[in-house]
Structure 1
C-alpha cells in the first residue's frame, strides 16, 4: 500500500465562511498547503481553525472563494466526493467491533473485496505499531492505542489529504507526547499531506512543517515553527506561540539592519526589522532572560517555583512584570531578592506595531 504518490496540495483562494448573515467564521483567507507537508492551524477557541479544517473535509461549504485539492476544484463537492480522511477528537470507534473491523469499516464502502480490505487493514495496523491487536475491542486499548486505530482507519483509505481535529486533547501529558511523535513519524515516512488543528502551542511546534496562526477568523501569520517563535509579526503571535514577555523600550539608533534599544539604562543590539528610532515593544522569551548580570535592569524576585528540571521566577520592577526560567535548581533565588537582569544575545525581537 503506497500512499506517497497520492499526497496532494490544498489551496484556499479568498475563502470566506459565514454562518447566517452576521457571523463571519472565516474571513477571506488565502492558504497553500504543499503536498507531503504537515501544516497546523493554531489559535484560540473561535478563531476559525476548525471551520477551515471542516471546509477542506467538505463538512462545511465555503460561502465564497475557491478550494482546490490537487488540481481539482472541490469548493462545491460534498464530503463523500473528496479524497480526504479525518481523524476526530473523539476517535469515533465502534465499541462492539474489533480493532480490525474498525479499521476495515471505511474500506467495505469503498468497493474493496473482503480479502483486499482485510489485507489493507492489517497493513494499516502495522503502520501505526498495532500489529497483533486486530482482535481486541476498543475498550481493551489505552487512549493512545485507540487514537492510533483511528489514524489507521483513516490511512487505509489512501487519502490525498489527512485531517486531524484536536487529536490529542483526550490524552494525558505523557501520552500526548508519544502519540504526536507517532503521528509525525507516520506522516514523514509516508509523505502524507496533513492538516492538523490544535490550540496547544507546544504540540504545534513539535509536529509541524508550517504553522498557520489564526485570530478572529483571519490568518495572523504563517511560518515554520522557528520563524514564528523567533520572529513573530505582532504581540498576539509573540504571546500565543510560547510565552513571551512584552517590554516597552526605546530604539536609540538604527544602523542598517541592526537597532540599539534601551530599557532603564540597559542597552541591547538586535535586528531592526525595518523599524526606526523611537518608542517600541520588545518580546523576550522566559528562557532568554539572563538573571544576575552587571549593569542590567533592576528587578525583584516576586515568586519562585521549583518544577523539577528548572526554576520559574516572576520578576517585578519599574518595567512591570516578567516571567523567567533558570536551570539552576540547586541554588534558587528567594522571593524578595533584588537582581539585575538582561537579555541573551539571541532571542529578543522587536515587534512591529
Structure 2
C-alpha cells in the first residue's frame, strides 16, 4: 500500500505535566504526562467529557495548554499556533468541500505548501492511490459513500506528510461494517508508512483493534496506559476493567497471600491467582464473560436467569447469591434452559483482582 511519493517523517509527542482549564472552574485536562513513540498508533479512549478530545486538540494547536509543555520531536510547540505545527487532523465530520472534486479536496492543503501545480497533482493522485481511491479524482464528495469520504479526508491529511497524524472519532458516522473496513485501512496505512498517529475514540473495540498503545482517560486524567492486551488482561481498577470490554465485577474475599499468590473465596469456591499487591480482606474480581465456565466440577452455584441465541454463540445472564453475571458460550446446539441451576468456575488465568474501592 506504500507509495514512493508519500514519505513519512514520524516524530514522537510528549506531554509534560500538561493541564487545560476553561475559565476558573472547568479543568478539562489535569496534569497529564504522556509519551507517544514515533511510528506508533496511540489511542485516547474514554467516556464523553474525560478530556481525550481536548488532549488531541492541544497536540493540533487548536487549544493551548494552561500549564506544562508539549513537544513534537525535539521542538517545544506549547505556544505555537496550529499553522506552525507539522501535524494534520482528520475530523469526525470529514470537512470536505462539497463543491470541489475529490482531487481538489486532497490537493487543497498542498496549494499552500509551495509545490508546483504538477507536483501538487502528482502528490494528490498518489494520496488517492494510497487509500484505494485511484480513479475517483473527478468525483464530488456527494457521489461517494461515507467510507470513501473518510478515505478522502485521510488522503488529504497524508499528502501533507505530517510528523503527527491526528484522528478525532473518525468512524462515528459510519455503519458497523464500514467501521471495521475503514479502521483496518487506517491501521494498514499507519503501519505501512510508519506514521505517528494519535487517535481519539470512545469505542473500546475500535481502540483494541487499531492501537499499539491505549491511554484510558477518566475525569480529565489518565487512568491507565498499556497495550490492548495488557489493559484487557490486567486492568488497574474497576473503571478500566469495565471500560475495556465487558467485565463481570464480582465480590470476593482474599483468604491468604503467599508471595504474589492470593487465595480467594467466592462462597465455598476457592481459587488462586496473582495478588497484585493486595492483602487479606474483601476485594473485587474482574472476569470476562467468555471466561466464566458453566458446568465445572468445582465452583459456585448460580441459576440461568436469561438465555439468548445470537447466532455464533449463546449469551446467558446468571443469577448468584451475590448478584448477576453475564456469560457467553460457543455451544449453540445444547443451550441451557432458563431456571437451570449450574456450577460456575473460571478459565485458567481468567480473573483479575482489583482493589475493593
When normalised by structure 1's length, the TM-score is 0.98
For structure 2, the residue ranges without an aligned partner over 5 or more in a row are none
Map of 1:295 onto structure 2: 298
Question: How far off its partner does 1:254 sit?
Answer: 1.6
What is the CA RMSD across the aligned residues, in angstroms?
0.8
- Which of 62, 80, 91 is matched with 1:77 structurally? 80
Matched position secondary structure for 2:64: coil
Q: Report the Cα distance in structure 1 between the residues aligned to 2:164 and 2:289, rounded to whole angstroms.
A: 37
1:229 maps onto 2:232 in alignment: yes
Q: Give the length in aligned residue pairs.
A: 352
| Stretches (4+) displaced over 4 A | none
Question: How far off its partner does 1:352 sit?
Answer: 3.0
Q: Which moved more, 1:186-195 or 1:129-138?
A: 129-138
1:107 maps onto 2:144 in alignment: no
Q: Which moved more, 1:125-134 or 1:250-259?
A: 250-259
1:189 maps onto 2:192 in alignment: yes
Map of 1:56 onto structure 2: 59
1:168 maps onto 2:171 in alignment: yes
Question: How far off its partner does 1:2 sit?
Answer: 4.2
> Is the 1:12–1:66 contact (alpha carbons within 8 Å) kept by the matching residues of 2?
yes
> Is the 1:85–1:154 contact (alpha carbons within 8 Å) kept by the matching residues of 2?
yes
Map of 1:333 onto structure 2: 336
Question: How far off its partner does 1:3 sit?
Answer: 2.7
For structure 1, the residue ranges without an aligned partner over 5 or more in a row are none
Q: Report the Cα distance in structure 1 between the residues aligned to 2:253 and 2:134, rounded to whole angstroms.
A: 60
Question: How far off its partner does 1:110 sit?
Answer: 1.4
Question: How far off its partner does 1:108 sit?
Answer: 0.4
1:351 maps onto 2:354 in alignment: yes
Matches within 5 A, 1:16-95: 16-95=19-98
Map of 1:140 onto structure 2: 143
1:240 maps onto 2:240 in alignment: no
- The C-alpha deviation readout for 1:21-64, integer Å capped at 9, x for no partner, is 10000000000000000000000000000000000000000011
- Which of 302, 307, 311 is matched with 1:308 structurally? 311
Matches within 5 A, 1:200-215: 200-215=203-218
Map of 1:3 onto structure 2: 7
Q: Report the Cα distance in structure 1 between the residues aligned to 2:232 and 2:123, rounded to whole angstroms.
A: 40
Q: Which moved more, 1:210-219 or 1:265-274?
A: 265-274
1:216 maps onto 2:213 in alignment: no
